[in-house]
């Protein structure tokens, strides 16, 4: 077990430049898409994070092979030896559910552990299941496992009751190999979903976007190999933008897609930070001495992402006045609040709202993170808290951030990983 020790400073100064890794939430479905073909799928700009290791372990358990060279992974699934995603792996990472669609579409059978509760909310998968049933899969739930079967999936018209990112991804992958045409309505349009569709089309799928959130997929018999560069991680980008907004000085954030972070940039600018594009793939950020209070409501893309809610809350503890954050995506995503309060923040949760009163001067303490983005928020808070902040249980952080401490140290922060 490891922990992070941060020596914070109210007058945090950051400068230099940082490079953003590939998007965790884009690479996970892209790796699962490797199950759809017997040919090689080669993905570059992959982040070296724990969740990627977990899904690659799952691919190997199913019988696929992979090789990693730098930031490129080559996956090949000629045949499978098992069609089961174990509870152990699904519990470690809910996104393991992404193998359900590809397995049933290509091999006609999948057994995937039902993900249980989660630190950020109830997170059901009913929409994945209902969609696959509409494509003709027979699905039963036995002994905590989803058992899905189908001779060959058949195209259908499916309207998601609610926008779901991995649900849309599972159905895009399944429909790609179904017989006939599928129309998916009310799809999630997160950049990671769009990136998956680009990869699938390179593999020979026929996916077209029609209007805002409808996809038309003409099923094909077989998909082939492809090479694809994963998009930059917009949540890591947003996390570093908030670090910049908290600090004096300015720094450059490279390998980003500014458009994907537009909602966060808008709120950062409204709070007083200076965020400028520097060419097509870089952003420059500088903090303001006087952070302005903001109200934030999370919503599906292109709205303000739930995955940035915790980090932005840290910035709002430094704003004069009251800010109200409304979380509309997950029902329990405020686990960072109590820890931020331990650092001296004034935040009260009322149902789906967190009321943040500022400006509060934070002081370092020992804290525990219970999910990925909550951990990132605690790192940011530690940077501006006086004295030492120790962040325990950083395995959550390692699931989605590639050596965040090295990147922050490169900007001048005092942060170290030590054995717990």
CB of 24 to ligand EPU, least distance (A): 6
Taking the least distance from each CB to ligand EPU, the nearer of 10 and 162 is 162
Q: How far apart are CA 102 and CA 91, in angstroms?
A: 19
Q: How far apart are CA 339 and CA 378, in angstroms?
A: 8
CB of 75 to ligand EPU, least distance (A): 17
| Inter-CA distances, 337 with 204, 341, 342, 360, Å | 46, 6, 9, 14
Return the structure tokens found at 298.
């999370």
CB of 28 to ligand EPU, least distance (A): 5
What b/e sequence results for 110-130 when a residue is b if at least 16 CB atoms lie within 10 Å of its CB, and e otherwise?
Answer: bbbbbbeeeebeebebebbbe
- Residue indicated by tokens 């200076």: 274
Contact between 162 and ligand EPU per CB under 6 A: yes
**Which is catalytic among the residues 74, 114, 118, 349?**
118
Q: How far apart are CA 327 and CA 297, in angstroms?
A: 6
Contact between 127 and ligand EPU per CB under 6 A: yes
Taking the least distance from each CB to ligand EPU, the nearer of 28 and 52 is 28
Contact between 407 and ligand EPU per CB under 6 A: no
Q: How far apart are CA 254 and CA 231, in angstroms?
A: 13
Return the structure tokens found at 68.
């990693």
Contact between 306 and ligand EPU per CB under 6 A: yes
CB of 104 to ligand EPU, least distance (A): 16
SS3 366: strand
Taking the least distance from each CB to ligand EPU, the nearer of 291 and 337 is 337
Q: How far separated are the first and last CA of the chain, in Å rounded?
A: 5
Contact between 25 and ligand EPU per CB under 6 A: yes
Q: Which of 42, 123, 228, 260 binds ligand EPU (CB under 6 A)?
A: 123
Contact between 40 and ligand EPU per CB under 6 A: no
Return the structure tokens found at 74.
């080559």
Contact between 95 and ligand EPU per CB under 6 A: yes
Q: Which of 124, 302, 303, 387 binds ligand EPU (CB under 6 A)?
A: 124
Known active-site residue 257: no
- Residue indicated by tokens 């070296």: 48
Contact between 252 and ligand EPU per CB under 6 A: no
148 within 8 A of 100, measured Cβ to Cβ: yes
CB of 57 to ligand EPU, least distance (A): 16
Residues marked active site are found at: 118
Query: What is the contact surface with ligand EPU in residues (CB under 6 A)?
Result: 25, 28, 95, 121, 123-128, 162, 164-167, 188, 192, 306-307, 329-330, 372-373, 400
């Amino acid at each position: 077990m490891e922990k992070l020790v941060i020596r914070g400073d109210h007058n945090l100064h950051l400068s230099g430049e940082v490079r953003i890794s590939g998007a965790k939430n884009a690479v996970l479905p892209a790796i699962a898409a490797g199950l759809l073909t017997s040919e090689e799928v080669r993905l570059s700009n992959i982040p070296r994070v724990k969740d990627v290791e977990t899904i690659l372990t799952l691919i190997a358990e199913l019988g696929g092979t992979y090789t990693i060279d730098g930031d490129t992974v080559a996956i090949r699934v000629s045949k499978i030896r098992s069609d089961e995603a174990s509870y152990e792996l699904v519990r470690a990472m809910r996104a393991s559910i992404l193998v359900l669609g590809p397995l049933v579409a290509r091999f006609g059978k999948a057994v995937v552990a039902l993900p249980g509760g989660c630190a950020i909310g109830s997170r059901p998968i009913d929409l994945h299941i209902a969609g696959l049933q509409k494509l003709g899969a027979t699905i039963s739930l036995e002994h905590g496992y989803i058992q899905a079967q189908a001779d060959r999936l058949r195209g259908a018209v499916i309207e998601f009751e609610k926008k779901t990112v991995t649900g849309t991804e599972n159905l895009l992958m399944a429909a790609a190999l179904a017989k006939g045409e599928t129309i998916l309505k009310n799809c999630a349009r997160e950049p990671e979903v769009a990136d998956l569709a680009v990869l699938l089309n390179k593999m020979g799928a026929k996916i077209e976007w029609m209007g805002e959130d409808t996809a038309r997929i003409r099923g094909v018999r077989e998909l082939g190999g492809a090479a694809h560069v994963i998009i930059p991680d917009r949540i890591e980008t947003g996390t570093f933008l908030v670090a910049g907004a908290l600090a004096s000085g300015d720094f450059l954030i490279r390998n980003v897609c500014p458009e994907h972070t537009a909602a966060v940039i808008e709120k950062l600018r409204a709070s007083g930070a200076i965020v400028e594009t520097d060419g097509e793939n870089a952003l420059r950020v500088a903090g303001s001495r006087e952070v302005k209070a903001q109200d934030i409501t999370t919503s599906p893309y292109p709205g303000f992402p739930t995955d940035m809610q915790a980090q932005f809350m840290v910035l709002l503890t430094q704003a004069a006045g009251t800010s109200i954050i409304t979380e509309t995506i997950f029902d329990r995503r405020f686990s960072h609040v109590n820890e931020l309060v331990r650092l001296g923040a004034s935040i009260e949760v009322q149902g789906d709202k967190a009321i943040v009163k500022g400006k509060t001067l934070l002081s370092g303490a020992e804290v525990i993170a219970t999910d990925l983005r909550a951990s990132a928020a605690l790192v940011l808070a530690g940077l501006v808290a006086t004295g030492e902040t120790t962040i325990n249980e950083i395995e959550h952080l390692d699931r989605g951030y590639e050596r965040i401490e090295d990147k922050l140290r490169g900007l001048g922060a005092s942060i170290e990983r030590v054995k717990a």
